[in-house]
Amino acid sequence: MTNTMGIFAGAVVGLGLLTAQAAPPASAETTPTGITYYVDSAGGDDARDGRSEGSAWASLAKVNATTFASGDAILFRSGASWTGQLHPKGSGEEGRPITIGKYGQGAAPKLEGHGNVESVVYLFNQQHWDIGYLEVTNRGTASATAPRRGVHILGQDYQVGASTNLSKVSTLKGIRIHDLDIHDVNGEDKKDGDGSAGIQVSVKVPGMNAQGIPPTNTVRQRTSYDSVTIENNVIDKVSRSGIITWTDWQNRAELGDGLGYGESSITPFTPMTNVVIRGNRLTQIGGDGIVPHQTVDALVERNTIAGFNVTSQGYNVGMWTWNGDRTLYQFNEVSGGKTTMDGNAFDFDHGSRGVIYQYNYSHDNEGGTLLLCADGRATGGGIYDGVFRYNVSQNDRHQLFSVCGGANLYNMKVYNNTFYIAPGLSTKVFQAGGGANQVAFNNNIFYNLGSGGYAAKPSWTYDHNVYFGNNTPSTSVIPDANGSTADPLLENPGNATGIGDLNGYRLTTGSPALRSGVVVTGPGAKDLWGHPANPARPNRGAHAGPGTHPSPRKG
């Protein structure tokens, strides 16, 4: 997968926003080369062969005791329910996955863990599986003292040999998790690979100590995942993470050795590849929302997060990548982040390179819009070459930008975004705290009707931004010699109801922000409405197209 603008091909629909519809999932019963097995908790019998609706199996135990083959399908009866863990055995092949789905009419088949299993749906060292159309819960009556998950796909020492060979990587492929309804998973408030989650895909190294070092003289095999798709799921009331990828094979120079994460000579960086997280809706998430950690070229698009960090006592963000390269986040909507212990919609975090946020909409997050959080240690934890462009923020709180103490952020670019702050809010537009990192702000519109103000950071640069509204800064406060305080004449700012309703942030005819921005390197091909970016005469703000005729303002 490549982060190119070729993925934007298609019609402009709705209110002018680009949209892409995922291909419809293959029918769970389309398995001409495999066997379809039926499972019915009420009318089934494990003594039968399971190969027709009339001879369906009854229990998860029967399914879990069976090793399935390429092209097989396991179909659960709609409206039925089961308690326990689903852990079928076997692997499919390229183009012939093993499918989990449903049959019949009615509500999705329901799998309930009741807090008595770590993960309700579980695969271990298996590949080429297509899992969909189930309802999954894992709520215990007592508070959790261990992880609880909805779905967990785990790899560990896959195809291990007689001795460790760090030059070899064993790759598990072809995992698709889609159209699940996952809710009420009350796991303990713990993050990362040993934490709780709605959906988790991870690779573990057994026996590691608190410094990330496994026992000596143990046989270990570098393991990873390729081609993981997580799409069109609904995840609600899950603690702690909504969707997460993780691997213990994580160490490289960008992360740093000797910092408590392990050592590159023992657990070298082995990222997941071709990870797509698309079209999911997450609500009331206890901690982090969507976190594709330790991936390369992951695509995170068209997801909605409405409420995160609602129960956690830790630091959490809506979407972010830790120790990964070139994640592309686009057309996502993130809102309802609680707390100012982070609580931001988005984050550039430790050990990442080339992460891009574009065409996203954030609003009403208590912690603000964007976190820039390097580790701050000289030997690792840096952030490199991040881009934040063509995004819209409406009524994010606290401060638009939060900065950790590290000074090792390099070549970070924030350009052609529009930030709106409503009357009555005290959101800080810029604040001076945090490390002396390198961030360039170009062609952004700050539409500030609140009481918050501006403070410069000496290591940041500012050029051709619009500072409209209250507390407009002088050049002695924000050294932007080409800045503007003129009204950018947005069409109808402050009234968006969702990512499909952002036309109010387009520039109208006569706007001084039209064709008055500074040229930036690699500006991106289009804005979020699909207008081509003008590489020679760019606009200021998130709208790259021509001026529109103003529509009647709401309110």
Chain center to CA of 475: 37
Number of alpha helices (DSSP H) and beta strands (DSSP E) in the chain: 1, 42
Distance CA 84, CA 120 (A): 7
Are 173 and 186 a contacting pair, CB within 8 Å? no
In a domain, 163, yes or no: no
Output the six-digit token pair for 280: 């999911």
The pLDDT assigned to 1 comes to: 39
Are 125 and 93 a contacting pair, CB within 8 Å? no
Query: Burial of 513 by CB count in 10 Å (0-12 exposed, 13-18 middle, 19+ buried)?
Result: buried
- What pairing do the DSSP bridges indicate for beta strands 149-155 and 119-124? parallel
Average pLDDT, the chain: 92
Distance CA 103, CA 60 (A): 16
Distance CA 364, CA 281 (A): 17
Are 149 and 185 a contacting pair, CB within 8 Å? yes
In a domain, 25, yes or no: no
DSSP 361-421: EEES-TTEEEEEE---BTTB--EES-EEES-EEES--SBSEEE-S---EESEEEES-EEEE
Distance CA 142, CA 115 (A): 8
Output the six-digit token pair for 467: 């500072």
The pLDDT assigned to 406 comes to: 80
DSSP 20-53: -PPPPPPPTT--TTS-EEEE-TTT--TTS--SSG
pLDDT tens string 318-375: 999 999 999 999 999 999 999 899 999 999 999 999 999 999 999 999 999 999 998 8
Distance CA 468, CA 448 (A): 6
In a domain, 487, yes or no: yes
| DSSP element (H, E) containing 18 | strand 17-18
Q: What is the pTM of this model?
A: 0.93
Distance CA 82, CA 381 (A): 45
Compute the average pLDDT of residues 181-193: 94
In a domain, 493, yes or no: yes
Are 383 and 374 a contacting pair, CB within 8 Å? yes
pLDDT tens string 464-506: 999 999 999 999 999 999 999 999 999 999 999 999 999 999 9
Output the six-digit token pair for 379: 């030997």
Q: Give the range among 171-175, 303-307, 448-452, 531-535 with minimum mean pLDDT.
A: 531-535
Neighbours of 442 (CB within 10 A): 24
In a domain, 216, yes or no: no
In a domain, 479, yes or no: yes
pLDDT tier at 555, thresholds 50, 70, 90: very low
pLDDT tens string 110-143: 999 999 999 999 999 999 999 999 999 999 998 8
Residues spanned by the domain of 438: 1-20+302-555
Maximum alpha-carbon separation in the chain:
81
In a domain, 181, yes or no: no
Q: Read off the amino acid at residue 237.
A: K
Count structural domains, the chain: 1
What is the rounded end-to-end Cα distance, in angstroms, of the chain?
44
pLDDT tier at 380, thresholds 50, 70, 90: confident
Output the six-digit token pair for 216: 């000596």
Compute the average pLDDT of residues 378-391: 89
